Chains A and B, each alone.
Chain A
């Protein structure tokens, strides 16, 4: 609101002969940039798809800006340049995403679909009895572990994080609460920076301190370690969203005599639910793929463990890490026999790496499903106040 006066300043200079060009002129300048880039690169002898696109984009910036400067004047030329730059930024970010997804899909989904005996048995079988280069096995146990541990981490983190955010926004307004609020805000910032591996060490130490058995590893230890990473993200995202709820809404509720807690539940939270869901989703997305804390706290098993409070658990990230570290398998003959059920599998040198990719694919599918679900919830609950 304070900046409204500054808005007018640059606009006072309006030239009357400015003319907007249709957007498709950008395509012409783009093609020109690309052609010049290809020509220059082939003369220099360094032509490749990547270098042509890179140089072409830079030249396009130059051409587009110059062309617009001549035809439309400096202000619109600047606008064109920025438009090109932000599109470029988006394209740059899409590149790693697409290449990563392509890697994961081409190597991971292939393995999931090629699983034996039936198509999805990679998702329904575990690793018991899978040894050496056996081209078999699956991630059912790891998927169960990941879902359970993330669920428990969410059960711990979401209420704590949400209530902390509510405290910061709704209660920390005066007296000692204000001081506490400032401290909490500061500490949440610090917690955001807690390295995941330190969170793992913490989760380990908390339980070792209270357990007789020093080698204890349980799912709940991983959940506690993950909560440490999840809480600050939930607090930060929720706080941001709660603060965006207009004060008018609260005041209107108070004026009607609605108690504070009900105002929070019925007005503030409900207004902010879309943002809150997005924030929580991001928090889950951050922790569901965390590897380092789980390496230290949950160990690894080859079969399903449903019990969060007893015994080691496999999770998808640690499974990926384990398979990646196993590296090439050793194949001395064509087949490997499963010692548990005597099934015979083909032996493949790359089986561990293949499983790592397939597990990575599985993990990404889970995250995507979660994301889509969160979007749908947020879409469904979101009050249509803003864009």
Chain B
């Protein structure tokens, strides 16, 4: 517990005026610590933003857009990477969110009570697996095994742009990376959704059941409305992880820099983070600065998406 526990005496004490000074000191110290931590968050984030901007200045100044002479263009460098990052994360979320809600409901409302804790723990294990291990697993184990599915999708559903194109083995494509990303964000979304679903007021649920509702009807009318904002928040957490995930994408995806929608084709996409990780080893000077600029772009991107998500949460109305 907290170290402030030393003065635990007043907890049992009657509300006497003698204790007022001790209370005031404790209260103000606690208040300062709390407010200070809040302010620290501000400062840290400001420091990150300032640093990223100042370090990417050399690239911005030397770029085509500003100097007009350089070999590289900020926009041409960043746009395909943004596209790849967003596409990969979007597909990962599309896969992960329904499954996560399903798992969360399964653990909170369907599984036998005695098993629920154990099952929840198994999902938490997925969150505990380090990204570099996901990379190892995805690159060495998953990619060859996904090939038949991709070939199937490409052959029979090739008319959908997403599955079109000409995939070649090994399938180190955006789809594989997205699947691994989905597995990585799944436990995060599940864990938060599950907690929220479990907090549904017991009385409401019991009332619904007593009225003869099936389990699904109870969930649809009581649990899901109660948990909606929690699920949105959980998905945001997942999105944050998917957007910035480096190692898994780096170890699975054969990168490229196009605006192709063909997620089964290799060498078409790349994510900002994986690009930084792969290029940073041999980058210095303006090249490094350009990489930091893409990092800044990623930072801004997550900023916008988070702001958007918050706006959606606000619009859907506060729950209590």
Stretch at the interface among B59-67, B103-111, B258-266: B103-111
The answer to whether A320 touches B110 (Cβ under 8 A) is no
Q: Is residue B170 within 8 Å, beta carbon to beta carbon, of the partner chain? A: no
**Beta-carbon contacts under 8 Å, B76-112 to A:** 98-103, 105-107, 110-111
The answer to whether A163 touches B36 (Cβ under 8 A) is yes
CB neighbours (8 Å) of B272 from chain A are 195
In the complex formed, the residue of A with least CB distance to B107 is A90
- Complex CA–CA separation, A81 to B217 (angstroms): 12
- Complex CA–CA separation, A360 to B222 (angstroms): 42
Q: Is residue B316 within 8 Å, beta carbon to beta carbon, of the partner chain? A: no
The answer to whether B217 touches A197 (Cβ under 8 A) is no
- Complex CA–CA separation, A360 to B247 (angstroms): 14
Stretch at the interface among A27-35, A95-103, A134-142, A299-307: A95-103
In the complex formed, the residue of B with least CB distance to A281 is B124
The answer to whether A262 touches B34 (Cβ under 8 A) is no
CB neighbours (8 Å) of A94 from chain B are 122
Cβ 8 A contact of B306, one of A189, A206, A231, A291:
A189
Interface digits, A57-74 against B, CB 8 Å rule (1 contact, 0 not)? 000000000000000000
Interface digits, A255-290 against B, CB 8 Å rule (1 contact, 0 not)? 011111110111001100001001001100110111
- Count of CB-CB pairs between chains A and B under 8 Å: 336
The answer to whether B204 touches A262 (Cβ under 8 A) is no
Question: Given A7-B208, A97-B122, A266-B11, are A160 and B215 also a contact pair (CB < 8 Å)?
Answer: no
CB neighbours (8 Å) of B10 from chain A are 258-259, 262
Interface digits, A83-106 against B, CB 8 Å rule (1 contact, 0 not)? 101111110111011011101100
Per DSSP, chain A at the interface is: helix
Q: Is residue B282 within 8 Å, beta carbon to beta carbon, of the partner chain? A: no
CB neighbours (8 Å) of A296 from chain B are 280
Cβ 8 A contact of A198, one of B101, B132, B298:
B298
**Beta-carbon contacts under 8 Å, A217-243 to B:** 228, 231, 235-237, 240-241
How many chain A residues sit at the interface, stated as a range, is 35 or more
CB neighbours (8 Å) of B305 from chain A are 193
The answer to whether B221 touches A3 (Cβ under 8 A) is yes
Q: Is residue B150 within 8 Å, beta carbon to beta carbon, of the partner chain? A: no
In the complex formed, the residue of A with least CB distance to B190 is A93
Question: Given A90-B102, A198-B52, A202-B48, are A285 and B127 also a contact pair (CB < 8 Å)?
Answer: yes
Distance between A201 CB and nearest chain B CB, rounded to angstroms:
6
Cβ 8 A contact of B214, one of A75, A194, A201, A275:
A75
Q: Is residue A345 within 8 Å, beta carbon to beta carbon, of the partner chain? A: no
Distance between B214 CB and nearest chain A CB, rounded to angstroms:
4
Per DSSP, chain B at the interface is: helix
- Complex CA–CA separation, A51 to B92 (angstroms): 22
CB neighbours (8 Å) of B113 from chain A are 387
Beyond A241-B195, A286-B127, 5 additional contacts (C-beta under 8 Å) are A197-B244, A260-B30, A262-B8, A360-B136, A371-B128
**Leading 5 A-B pairs by shortest Cβ distance:** A289-B130, A257-B15, A89-B102, A195-B244, A193-B302
> 23 pairs across A/B with beta carbons < 8 Å?
A3-B221, A7-B204, A7-B208, A10-B217, A11-B212, A79-B215, A83-B110, A89-B102, A93-B99, A93-B187, A167-B37, A167-B38, A190-B45, A192-B236, A195-B299, A198-B52, A198-B295, A201-B51, A202-B52, A262-B8, A282-B191, A292-B273, A317-B132
Q: Which residues of A contact B (CB under 8 A)?
A: 1, 3-4, 6-11, 14, 48, 50-51, 75-76, 78-79, 81-83, 85-90, 92-94, 96-97, 99-101, 103-104, 159-161, 163-164, 166-168, 170-172, 177, 180-181, 183-184, 186-198, 201-202, 205-206, 228, 231, 235-237, 240-241, 244, 256-262, 264-266, 269-270, 275, 278, 281-282, 285-286, 288-292, 295-296, 316-317, 320-321, 324, 356-357, 360, 363-364, 367-368, 371, 375, 386-387
